[in-house]
């Protein structure tokens, strides 16, 4: 039991450069306190002591400003960084080594009892500040969710999601599912060298336009040379009309 508690502490030290030693983490990290209290509440919930579990969960929320339903399943070495305003629903499942930042909601979109209403986070997931993950779907191992994103559907393993509603920035899946959980930790879900797909699409359109303009210019120069060699005005006019027709065709 104590080894598991210290495992939670050491996970925080590994992921937070502001954490200097175990005593500081144990006494000053409300995210850790919320996790430990939840483990007690979850045990009571599984024993059928629903009301005591809910009552103690309310006290834990008062003490930590973190709301975790006692029915939620939380894995090992989960880090609630800063923690203020985190809400985790009843049927949520959080995998090992996951990091969740302040203001995150793992919420449900269904009002039906007895069904999976809240998300399942795989191993090593990073959910950044203010993100909302809503629904009974799965976020794959090693996935990253950016700040203030609103996730309404499944996120593949190893992918990064940002925006409202969330869209995939880095959809390439790892070769092996286990590789996702082995990826290096990324604070606040930041993915180096990841470009927004909208920006990439705009860049592609701009590049295509520039290339088209170069082709038009080359055709104009070639046809101008042909027009300069014409011996009469009629030939020159016909060449010019052909040039205009080609330019219009390329611009369409």
**31 and 101 within one domain:** yes
Q: What is the mean pLDDT of residues 80-101?
A: 93
pLDDT digits (tens, 9 = 90+) for 38-85: 999 999 999 999 999 999 999 999 999 999 999 999 999 999 998 899
pTM of the model: 0.68
Q: Would you state the pLDDT for residue 233?
A: 57
Q: Would you state the pLDDT for residue 4?
A: 73
Report which of 101, 132, 74, 95 is spatially closest to residue 16, judged by C-alpha positions.
Answer: 101
- Percent of the chain exceeding pLDDT 90 equals 49
**215 and 173 within one domain:** no
CB of 4 closer than 8 Å to CB of 76:
yes
**225 and 190 within one domain:** no
**85 and 50 within one domain:** yes
Tell me the residue ranges of DSSP E strands in 87-158: 87-88, 93-94, 99-100, 105-107, 120-121, 126-127, 132-134, 138-139, 144-145, 150-151
**203 and 188 within one domain:** no
Token duo for residue 42? 């979850």
Domain interval for residue 209: 199-251
**235 and 143 within one domain:** no
Greater pLDDT, 247 or 31: 31
**215 and 242 within one domain:** yes
Least confident of 12-16, 159-163, 215-219: 215-219
CATH number at residue 173: 2.160.10.10
**98 and 35 within one domain:** yes
Most confident among 103-117, 130-144, 224-238 (mean pLDDT): 130-144
**175 and 80 within one domain:** yes
DSSP states of 147-205 as a string? TT-EE-S-B-TT-EEETTTTEES--PPPSSHHHHHTSPP-GGG--TTPPPHHHHHHHHH
**What's the number of domains the chain is made of?**
2
The sign of the dihedral angle between the CA atoms of 181, 182, 187, 189 is: negative
Q: Would you state the pLDDT for residue 213?
A: 79
pLDDT digits (tens, 9 = 90+) for 174-188: 445 444 444 455 666
**145 and 229 within one domain:** no
**209 and 117 within one domain:** no
């Amino acid at each position: 039991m104590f080894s598991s508690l210290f495992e939670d502490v050491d996970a925080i030290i590994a992921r937070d450069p502001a954490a200097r030693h175990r005593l500081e983490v144990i006494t000053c990290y409300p995210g850790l306190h919320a996790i430990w209290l939840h483990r007690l509440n979850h045990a009571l919930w599984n024993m059928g002591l629903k009301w005591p579990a809910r009552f103690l969960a309310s006290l834990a929320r008062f003490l930590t400003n973190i709301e975790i339903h006692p029915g939620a399943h939380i894995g090992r070495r989960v880090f609630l960084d800063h923690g203020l305003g985190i809400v985790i629903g009843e049927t949520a499942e959080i995998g090992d080594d996951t990091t969740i930042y302040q203001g995150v909601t793992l919420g449900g979109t269904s009002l039906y009892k007895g069904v999976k209403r809240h998300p399942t986070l795989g191993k090593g997931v990073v959910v950044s500040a203010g993100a909302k993950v809503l629904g009974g779907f799965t976020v794959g191992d090693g996935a990253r969710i950016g700040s203030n994103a609103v996730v309404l559907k499944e996120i593949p393993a190893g992918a990064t999601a940002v925006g409202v509603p969330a869209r995939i920035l880095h959809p390439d899946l790892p070769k092996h599912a286990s590789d996702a959980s082995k990826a290096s930790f990324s604070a606040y879900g930041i993915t180096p060298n990841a470009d927004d797909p909208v920006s990439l699409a705009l860049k592609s359109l701009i590049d295509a336009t520039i290339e088209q303009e170069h082709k038009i210019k080359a055709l104009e120069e070639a046809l101008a040379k042909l027009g300069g060699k014409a011996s009469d005005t009629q030939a020159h006019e016909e060449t010019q009309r052909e040039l205009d027709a080609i330019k219009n065709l390329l611009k369409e």
